[in-house]
């Protein structure tokens, strides 16, 4: 099955803000789109009002986008299946979908996170479920707030796959005059960049909540990039990936953007609220909260020093006061900025 430049039958699995925005984009690009949500309230809202008022309010969706709570109905016969569930649920959702997905279907993952129980990236989760379709898998990542994509604001992302053909197909399907798609063969780097930037964004929010200014933010982003790069390279990624859209691009956006859920959670933590209270107020998922524990475990597994991740883990999992965490970062032993390593 080859997609070429023609319209395709696309199934979007996950109707959060990002999944809804991508469904809107695919329809705008001329493709036939079916959208699945596990939440019947979301399905009902879209059918009755023409918008996803729960996760992406204010954006009218075409009635031609078919929305359903029946997973088999959505993915059956699709030529492209886009996985956009929260990272901790991707495995179980796609296992349910697998019997209804045809061999040769292009599988695109747009979820950013690490599965906490197994420490697997999203591409590894999908490869285990679809072992014969690895060359039909693509990761879509980069600096992209859902609301701005839905508005049609110029956005640049990257499609990563081990298969040259698959990443070109994804590029053709998603690209538009407002959504530019670059390609990259470094799946590991794109996955790690997209997942770990959320943890650094939590830390950026903590600093903002504590009242620190732009000096602190700039330093945190720069040293956060160094940490992400060290881990990514240790896992087999290419250093250059972290200086592209899925690395520094997504990191800057998520650490500084007003629409960043992870930054918002960090800001409230820095302001003295507990993580339990913050999460109880949220309908959407802040991926960095769970990814912090996964990143901490990966740093230990690969023997990589990640002091910002370590302190965010201590704040989230051990109840460490945020100001104490920042002080420990500042009082670490002095060292050269660069020692020739990532």
Residue 169's domain is classified under what CATH number? Answer: 3.40.50.720
Q: Are residues 173 and 38 in the same domain?
A: yes
pLDDT greater than 70 at residue 341: no
* Domain end marker among 120, 151, 185: 185
Q: Name, in order, each residue with C-beta under 8 angstroms of 237's C-beta and a sequence gap of 6 or more.
A: 186, 188, 189, 192
Residue percentage of the chain with pLDDT more than 70 = 97
Q: Are residues 34 and 159 in the same domain?
A: yes
DSSP line for 249-287: IHHHHHHH-TT-HHHHHHHHHHTT--HHHHHHT-SS--T
Q: Are residues 177 and 217 in the same domain?
A: no
- Mean pLDDT for the chain? 94
Q: What is the pLDDT of residue 4?
A: 47
Q: What is the pLDDT of residue 286?
A: 83
pLDDT in tens, 227-244: 999 999 999 999 999 999
Residue percentage of the chain with pLDDT more than 90 = 91
Residue 141 lies inside a defined structural domain of this protein: yes
Question: Is 327 designated active site?
Answer: no
Q: Are residues 141 and 193 in the same domain?
A: no
Residue 338 lies inside a defined structural domain of this protein: no
Banded model confidence at residue 125, pLDDT cuts 50, 70, 90:
very high
Residue 340 lies inside a defined structural domain of this protein: no
Average pLDDT over residues 44-56: 95
pLDDT greater than 90 at residue 2: no
Among residues 285, 312, 297, the alpha carbon closest in space to that of 118 is found at: 297
> What is the number of other CB atoms lying within 10 angstroms of the CB of residue 282?
13
> In the chain, what is the greatest distance between 2 CA atoms, to the nearest angstrom?
60
Q: How many domains does the chain have?
A: 2
More confident residue, 340 or 198: 198
The one catalytic residue among 112, 197, 283, 320: 197
* Domain end marker among 137, 160, 185: 185
Average pLDDT over residues 51-63: 95
Average pLDDT over residues 46-75: 96
Residue 283's domain is classified under what CATH number? Answer: 1.10.1040.10
Q: What is the pLDDT of residue 151?
A: 96
Average pLDDT over residues 20-24: 98
Domain that holds residue 316: 188-330
Residue 119 lies inside a defined structural domain of this protein: yes
Q: Are residues 226 and 317 in the same domain?
A: yes
pLDDT greater than 80 at residue 342: no
* Domain end marker among 185, 201, 223: 185
Q: Are residues 178 and 198 in the same domain?
A: no
Residue 4 lies inside a defined structural domain of this protein: no
Q: Are residues 237 and 301 in the same domain?
A: yes
Q: What is the pLDDT of residue 257?
A: 93
Q: What is the pLDDT of residue 319?
A: 94
Q: Are residues 164 and 266 in the same domain?
A: no
């Amino acid at each position: 099955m080859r997609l070429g430049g023609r319209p395709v039958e696309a199934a979007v699995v996950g109707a959060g803000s990002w999944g809804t925005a991508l469904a809107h984009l695919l329809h705008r690009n001329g493709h036939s789109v079916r959208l699945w949500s596990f939440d019947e309230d979301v399905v009902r809202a879209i059918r009755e009002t023409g918008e996803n008022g729960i996760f992406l309010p204010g954006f009218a969706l075409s009635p031609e986008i078919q929305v359903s709570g029946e997973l088999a109905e959505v993915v059956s016969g699709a030529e492209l299946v886009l996985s956009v569930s929260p990272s901790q649920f991707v495995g179980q959702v796609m296992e349910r979908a697998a019997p209804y997905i045809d061999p040769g279907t292009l599988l695109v993952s747009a979820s950013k996170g690490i599965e906490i129980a197994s420490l697997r990236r999203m591409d590894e989760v999908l490869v285990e479920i679809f072992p014969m379709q690895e060359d039909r898998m693509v990761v879509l990542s980069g600096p992209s707030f859902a609301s701005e994509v839905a508005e049609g604001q110029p956005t640049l992302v990257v499609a990563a796959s081990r298969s040259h053909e698959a990443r070109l197909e994804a590029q053709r399907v998603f690209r538009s005059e407002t959504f530019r798609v670059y390609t990259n063969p470094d799946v590991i780097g794109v996955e790690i960049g997209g997942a770990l930037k959320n943890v650094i964004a939590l830390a950026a929010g903590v600093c903002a909540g504590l009242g620190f200014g732009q000096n602190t933010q700039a330093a945190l982003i720069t040293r956060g990039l160094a940490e992400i790069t060290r881990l990514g390279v240790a896992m087999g990624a290419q250093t250059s990936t972290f200086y592209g859209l899925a690395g520094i691009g997504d990191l800057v956006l998520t650490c500084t953007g007003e629409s960043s859920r992870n930054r918002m959670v960090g800001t409230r933590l820095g302001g003295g609220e507990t993580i339990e209270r913050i999460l109880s107020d949220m309908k959407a998922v802040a991926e960095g909260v769970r990814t912090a524990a996964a990143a901490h475990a990966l740093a230990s597994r690969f023997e990589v020093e990640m002091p910002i991740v370590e302190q965010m883990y201590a704040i989230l999992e051990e109840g460490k006061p945020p100001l104490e965490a920042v002080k420990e970062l500042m009082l670490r032993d002095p060292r050269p900025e660069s020692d020739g390593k990532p």
